[in-house]
Amino acid sequence: MTVAEEPEAGGPETPELTAPGGPPTAADGNAIDPLEGGRRGLEPEPPRLQLRDPLPPVVDTPAALAETCERVAAGTGPIALDAERASGYRYSQRAYLVQVRREGAGTHLIDPIAFDNLVPLDTAFDGNEWILHAATQDLMCLAEVGLYPEALFDTELAGRLLNLPRVGLAALVEHYLGLSLAKEFSAADWSTRPLPDPWLVYAALDVEVLVELRDLIDADLVAAGKREWAAEEFEALLTFTGPPERKEPWRRTSGIHKARGRRALAIVRELWETRDAIATDRDITPGRIISDASILEIAVSAPKDLNALKSMRVMKNRGPRRFVSEWFDALERGLALDDRLLPTTGQKIDGPPPPRAWADKNPAAALRLGSTREVVTSLAEQHNLPAENLISPQLIRNLAWEPPDDLTVQTVSDVLASQGARRWQIGLTAEPLTNALDAPAAVDEDPSALN
């Protein structure tokens, strides 16, 4: 499981668990967890998780893949699965290693780069349940090589439904098995070949106890009365294809507020799109070609000729300097763009505006948002759930901004369902949300306090 840096604006989007699952995670698949890398105070570290079997060789030939498929097909029970990507190094989010473990089959480390696809492995899985940790991080790259689940269990998402304080894989292994899981190679460049043995041990450990972990977590879900909730969440994951494509992704350039005026924004856009094309072509993460800060420096300075661009501090580094002609062409396009085609200073937003603007734009909606948030907080505490797993915060904002004209439990349920809420979520929230939306607002209440 690869822990990656937050992708630079311009790279592939990092999926969020809010559809379905919960709040965003890091690009690896682990929840953002400040305690994953260390321990509180002087607490002794639990024993390290070790491989039960010798480290298997990497599967990188047709014969080896055929043997792996045969052994996996002959195994029993669910299939523990993980993938390592090279986020932070590569533009693509492809898998550079796929780890598989099944009872009776052992662990297999498969190099997907060595094959056109892994469809034979998908056939060997034969529809059996997959066990993944933070499935939304791996499902797309696994689909890219021909692996599609028909049933799955997500240990990270299950941990959220149980409201565990930490849901990263290492934290769950410690919580349930009393063992520590090393994460020192989590940010490695998995496109490296050959992969060093210590990295392979790390990768194998990520699936070593997923089956045992799944069974222990599943028992807790049953005991908490949340197994059916989890089943609906896992079913929703089967059709997960990644986050929606972001409009005008160049606006995510870090520090873009420094670009004053539409002309400067046009230059940012041209430089960003040029960088994105280079990154795509070379499969390099965009920030390794030229940083966001450098893009902003060029856009703000707007050098008038190629020599002026070459003399800038940002061009002293070899990476940006290699493409100085491309940057200058982008700069010229931005400077020459007709005024009518310049980007607007503000981004067009589909749906409600940011909540901080509601008090001025729509005070009644601000009051509804405050009421519905109180309901969600209360219900989450009542059912021992993170609020964002009880119901998507974006869905609550949509509902508060524009509730149904005919406000009933049924119409609210229909809105929730149309925007992706699961049956269990609707069952818990539809009636309380309807009451909150219908409650009269106090005239003298200050809606700005609800932001």
The tens digit of pLDDT for each residue in 292-313 reads: 999 999 999 999 999 999 999 9
Mean pLDDT value of segment 254-269:
96
CATH code, 249-341: 1.10.150.80
Angle at 367 between CA 365 and CA 372, to 5 degrees: 90
SS3 of residue 151 by DSSP: coil
Q: Which residues contact 428 (CB under 8 A, 6 or more apart)?
A: 379, 383, 390
Instruction: For the chain, give the mean pLDDT.
Output: 90
Between CA 328 and CA 326 the distance in angstroms is 5
Mean pLDDT value of segment 341-348:
89
155-192: b or e for each residue (b if 16 or more CB lie within 10 Å)?
bbbbbbbbbbebbbbbbbbbbbbebbbebebbbbbbbe
Between CA 380 and CA 389 the distance in angstroms is 8
Domain at 355-450, CATH class: mainly alpha
6 pLDDT more than 60: no
Between CA 288 and CA 11 the distance in angstroms is 11
> Counting runs of H as helices and runs of E as strands, what totals does the chain give?
19, 6
Whether the domain at 58-237 and the domain at 249-341 fall into the same CATH topology? no
Token pair 């539409």 in the structure block, residue:
262
SS3 of residue 215 by DSSP: helix
395 pLDDT more than 60: yes
318 pLDDT more than 60: yes
Token pair 């699965």 in the structure block, residue:
81
Mean pLDDT value of segment 407-432:
98
Mean pLDDT value of segment 395-412:
97
Please indicate whether residue 239 or residue 36 has the higher confidence score (pLDDT).
239
CA neighbor of 12 nearest in space, from 243, 316, 326, 303: 243
pLDDT of the residue at 33? 46
240-276: b or e for each residue (b if 16 or more CB lie within 10 Å)?
bebbeeeeebbbbbebbeebeeebbbbbbbbbbebbb
381 φψ region: left (φ > 0), alpha (ψ -120 to 50), beta (else): alpha
**Where are the domains positioned within the chain?**
58-237, 249-341, 355-450
Between CA 27 and CA 137 the distance in angstroms is 7
CATH code, 58-237: 3.30.420.10
Between CA 351 and CA 75 the distance in angstroms is 49
